[in-house]
């Protein structure tokens, strides 16, 4: 009986964590006008009285739904089997050199280290031991100390599995950060002054890179009472020879097709495939693997890198299930499996020359 109570208590604490966390300066410019057939809501005002929202699909669930999910619903998955999350040894030393094309290393969850020629950037850097309450299941793919001092980072939103204070405090103090509206104050409060805050469709320059903040279908919360006080986003990072799309955390929405038409060609699309069950609760905020594959097709990208699985146990499905479901979805759609890449944590993937040319 005590074991059952402990499991229920852990489910409730994890649900509360999901409610909180999941579920030199550059100049900024406003991106060009929308495509002729674009959904107007993608360009509509998205803040009111100090709160942000998704104009095309406002979030409708409440805290009572969290309790319903964690206390009253039955998980249809058996999560007793040991997790199968591949990891390869990588000391990160390669990030210090010059890459003659580009490589992408999966650190875990939504964190990639992209090494493009002589530059390195990180996506949603998280090297820490926990995402508020859920503990890290697999160690980071590279040591945090291997991140070079000249690296920069993009952050999609403020949930604890994407914005980790432990990590921010240990990365180089002068690192430039590119964040959505409302998050700069959080970084400056922790002594990180080199932060650029952008709204949807705004771009900033950093050296040879053009970094564009794009819509995503999600939400934000860091503590009690601050729901949606900061924006959430996806990112397009354009180095010149290559374009990288980083989705952050998002449900499936019409923005992917707009990005594909307007911002292509996209060489690499980093898309979330995990933390998607139960669908009645997660669909608005997290894509399932089939939706992620459709997003990849909408983006017209050359390659998809799967992320947001295998690192934190956040939802009902086993943390290692999503890649198998993705493979089934690609097969059912008659897709080219070689263009959907599921990496081991710590694995370094070379951007194909055909995609970069």
Ranking 30-39, 216-225, 300-309 by mean pLDDT, the lowest is 30-39
As a whole number, mean pLDDT of residues 25-52 equals 71
3-state helix, strand, coil in the chain (%, to 5): 25, 20, 55
Q: With respect to residue 79, please indicate whether it lies within any of the assigned structural domains.
A: no
Length of the chain: 357
Predicted confidence at residue 29, as pLDDT, reads 53
Q: What is the mean pLDDT of residues 1-15?
A: 50
Q: At what angle do helices 255-263 and 289-299 cross, to 10 degrees?
A: 30
The answer to whether residue 179 scores a pLDDT higher than 50 is yes
Instruction: Supply the pLDDT for residue 208.
Output: 98
Average of pLDDT values for 259-271? 97
Domain assignment of residue 19, yes or no = yes
Cα–Cα dist 91/312, whole Å:
22
* pLDDT over threshold 80, residue 236: yes
Query: In the predicted model, what is the mean pLDDT of the chain?
Result: 90
* CATH number of the structural domain spanning residue 252: 3.60.15.10
Looking at residue 268, its pLDDT comes to: 98
Q: Given this model, what pLDDT does residue 11 score? A: 52
Query: What pLDDT is attached to residue 24?
Result: 34
116 vs 243: CA distance, rounded Å: 10
- Residue 121 pairs in a beta bridge with 114, 152
Mean pLDDT across 59-73: 77
Give mean pLDDT, residues 213-230.
96
Neighbours of 212 (CB within 10 A): 24
φ and ψ of 146, to 5 deg:
-80, -10
The whole-number pLDDT of residue 61 equals 67
- The model's pLDDT over 302-323, given as tens digits with 9 standing for 90+, comes to 999 999 999 999 999 999 999 9
What integer is the mean pLDDT of 279-303? 97
Place of tokens 């950060």: 177
Res. 247: pLDDT tops 90: yes
Q: What is the mean pLDDT of residues 126-152?
A: 98
pLDDT band at 355 (very low <50, low <70, confident <90, very high): very low
| pLDDT at residue 37 is higher than 50 | yes
> Does 4 score more than 80 pLDDT?
no
Residue 356's pLDDT band (cuts 50, 70, 90): very low
Does residue 78 sit within a domain?
A: no
Return the minimum-mean-pLDDT range out of 12-16, 54-58, 278-282, 304-308. Answer: 12-16
26 vs 176: CA distance, rounded Å: 9
Higher-confidence position of 320 and 19: 320
Question: Cβ atoms within 10 A of the Cβ of 289, count?
Answer: 26
27 has pLDDT over 50: no
Q: Given a cut of 60, is residue 233 above it in pLDDT?
A: yes
Residue 152 has pLDDT above 90, yes or no: yes
Percent residues over pLDDT 70 in the chain: 87
pLDDT of 157 reads 98
- For the cut 50, the answer to whether the pLDDT of residue 272 exceeds it is yes
The proportion of the chain whose per-residue pLDDT surpasses 90, expressed as a percent, equals 82
User: In the chain, how many domains are there?
Assistant: 1
Mean pLDDT of 85-93: 98
Note whether residue 146 is domain-resident.
Answer: yes
Of the candidates 293, 207, 209, the residue with the CA atom closest to the CA atom of residue 247? 293
pLDDT score for 23: 40
pLDDT of residue 187: 98
Checking if the pLDDT of 21 tops 80, the result is: no
Domain span at residue 350 reads: 2-56+64-73+84-356
The values of phi and psi at residue 63, to 5°, are -65, -30
């Amino acid at each position: 009986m005590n074991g059952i109570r402990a499991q229920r208590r852990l489910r409730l604490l994890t649900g509360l964590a999901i409610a909180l966390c999941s579920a030199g300066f550059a100049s900024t410019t406003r991106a060009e006008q929308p495509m002729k057939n674009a959904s107007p809501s993608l360009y509509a005002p998205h803040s009111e009285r100090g709160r942000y929202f998704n104009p095309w699909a406002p979030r409708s669930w409440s805290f009572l739904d969290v309790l319903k999910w964690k206390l009253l619903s039955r998980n249809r998955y058996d999560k007793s089997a040991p997790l199968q999350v591949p990891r390869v040894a990588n000391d990160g030393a390669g990030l210090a050199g010059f890459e003659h094309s580009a490589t992408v290393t999966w650190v875990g969850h939504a964190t990639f280290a992209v090494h493009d020629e002589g530059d390195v950037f990180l996506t949603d850097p998280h090297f820490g031991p926990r995402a508020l309450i859920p503990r890290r299941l697999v160690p980071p793919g590279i040591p945090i100390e291997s991140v070079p001092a000249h690296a920069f980072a993009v952050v999609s939103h403020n949930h604890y599995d994407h914005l980790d204070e432990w990590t921010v405090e240990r990365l180089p103090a002068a690192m430039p950060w590119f964040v959505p509206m409302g998050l700069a104050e959080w970084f400056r409060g922790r002594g990180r002054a080199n932060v650029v805050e952008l709204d949807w469709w705004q771009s900033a320059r950093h050296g040879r890179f053009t970094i564009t903040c794009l819509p995503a279908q999600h939400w934000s919360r860091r503590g009690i009472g601050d729901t949606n006080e900061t924006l959430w986003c996806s990112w397009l990072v354009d180095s010149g020879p290559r374009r990288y799309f980083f989705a952050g955390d998002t449900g499936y929405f019409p923005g992917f097709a707009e990005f594909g038409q307007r911002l292509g060609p996209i060489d690499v699309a980093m898309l979330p495939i995990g933390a998607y069950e139960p669908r009645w609760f997660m669909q608005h905020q997290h894509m399932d693997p089939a939706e992620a594959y459709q997003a990849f097709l909408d983006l017209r990208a050359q390659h998809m890198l799967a992320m947001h699985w295998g690192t934190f146990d956040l939802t009902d499905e086993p943390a290692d299930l999503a890649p198998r479901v993705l493979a089934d979805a690609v097969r059912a759609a008659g897709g080219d499996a070689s263009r959907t890449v599921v990496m081991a944590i710590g694995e370094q993937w070379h951007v194909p020359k055909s995609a970069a040319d």
